[in-house]
Chain A
């Protein structure tokens, strides 16, 4: 499974757009890119998944360049409630292990 690298922490303010980039240089052809969000004392929550180009849902957008060696999770107009740890995962459609890295701790300030 491809290893991922993310910033350890980020700070933002309410109303701003936040972009969290994940590096996955060894991504395989069959691998998908998935992002999860975890609040304190809760289990991770699926945010978005993509394979290439751009994916958007009601929560976030995921940008994946052509070489797929990185991806960017974009959170539009964050609020205090978006303060959480965000995990980038890369894996294929086999019996993947959902390997979690250290994640990015996002702090949104008033």
Chain B
């Protein structure tokens, strides 16, 4: 069983569209994250949730709205997509504080055309 799974793996869409990326973890972790890795390969945290509550929002445009229906899921919805949103988005989960490491999903490659 995949510990952290994201869908879809690839997403190609036009500017202005709204899209969602889903993430689920079966590890029983309380904390989940969304990261963005751009073309220069820098991994930047976007959001962190603990027990369905938003803990960290790293100055991400409000076009990005995470939603956590339960502590096993953290979905990312993006409105009015822009070319600069093209990147690989990674979901991750960990014990609170990231102790003993975080588990990452396989990533969603978003391409906005």
Footprint of B on A, CB under 8 Å?
32, 34, 36, 41-46, 49, 85, 87, 91-100, 102-103
Q: Which residues of A contact B48 (CB under 8 A)?
A: 95, 97
Q: For chain B, what secondary structure do more than half of its interface residues adopt (helix, strand, loop), or is it mixed? A: strand
Q: How far is the CA of A25 from the CA of B99 in the complex (A)?
A: 21
Footprint of A on B, CB under 8 Å?
4, 31, 33, 35, 41-45, 48, 50, 55-56, 58, 90, 92, 94, 96-107
> Which residue of chain B has its CB nearest to the CB of A85?
B41
Q: Which residues of B contact A95 (CB under 8 A)?
A: 31, 48, 50, 55-56, 96-97
B106/A98 in contact, CB under 8 A = no
Min CB distance, B108 to chain A, in Å? 10
Which single member of B31, B41, B103 contacts A46 (CB below 8 Å)?
B103
B45/A97 in contact, CB under 8 A = yes
B96/A100 in contact, CB under 8 A = no
A98/B92 in contact, CB under 8 A = yes
Q: Max chain A CB contacts within 10 Å: which of B45, B56, B98, B106?
A: B98
B104/A49 in contact, CB under 8 A = no
Q: How far is the CA of A49 from the CA of B102 in the complex (A)?
A: 11
Min CB distance, A102 to chain B, in Å? 7
> Which residue of chain A has its CB nearest to the CB of B102?
A98
Q: How far is the CA of A93 from the CA of B58 in the complex (A)?
A: 19
A93/B41 in contact, CB under 8 A = no
Name 7 A/B residue pairs within 8 A (Cβ), A-sorted: A32-B99, A41-B107, A42-B107, A43-B107, A44-B43, A91-B97, A95-B50
